[in-house]
Structure 1
């Protein structure tokens, strides 16, 4: 069984904002923001809606990162 090291607290990822070099905050899986219940849905099923066509096959968890200084947003694929 594959699991995301960020979602499960096994690792942390330091990503610098490309605009202001501030450390960006990991806000979790992008699919958790789809609606009120998406965080409780099956993870593999939700990968069909995460915006990455290969995330299920490639065993990647798509995370949303946010810079509180300049409000830059980006998503990154995290290998499970």
Structure 2
């Protein structure tokens, strides 16, 4: 069983915004934003529905990042 190091607080990913250069904020797993019950669903099941075809089979986790300065949003794939 593999775990996402960002979800479990083992590692932080430091990103700079491509638009303005501000540090981007990690806002959690992308799948948690799908609907009201997404954060409570089985993670492996949600990975099948996240729109990133290889996340489930190759053990990757999609995270949502937002720039506090210009509000640019980005998705970063984290290897578990």
Do both proteins adopt the same fold according to a TM-score greater than 0.5, normalized to the shorter chain?
yes
Tell me what 1:11 maps to.
Answer: 11
Tell me what 1:55 maps to.
Answer: 55
Give TM-score scaled by structure 2 length. Answer: 0.97
Tell me what 1:26 maps to.
Answer: 26
Please provide the CA RMSD for this pair.
0.6
In 1, the alpha carbon distance for the partners of 2:77 and 2:35 equals 21
Map Cα deviations across residues 23-74 of structure 1 (whole Å, 9 max, x no partner): 1000011100011111011100000121200000110000000001001001
In 2, the alpha carbon distance for the partners of 1:2 and 1:40 equals 19
> Which structure 2 residue ranges, 5 or more long, are not aligned?
none
Q: Secondary structure at the match of 1:13?
A: coil
> Which structure 1 residue ranges, 5 or more long, are not aligned?
none
In 2, the alpha carbon distance for the partners of 1:25 and 1:49 equals 24
**Structure 1 runs of 4+ with >6 Å offset:** none
Alignment coverage as a number of residue pairs: 80
Give TM-score scaled by structure 1 length. Answer: 0.97
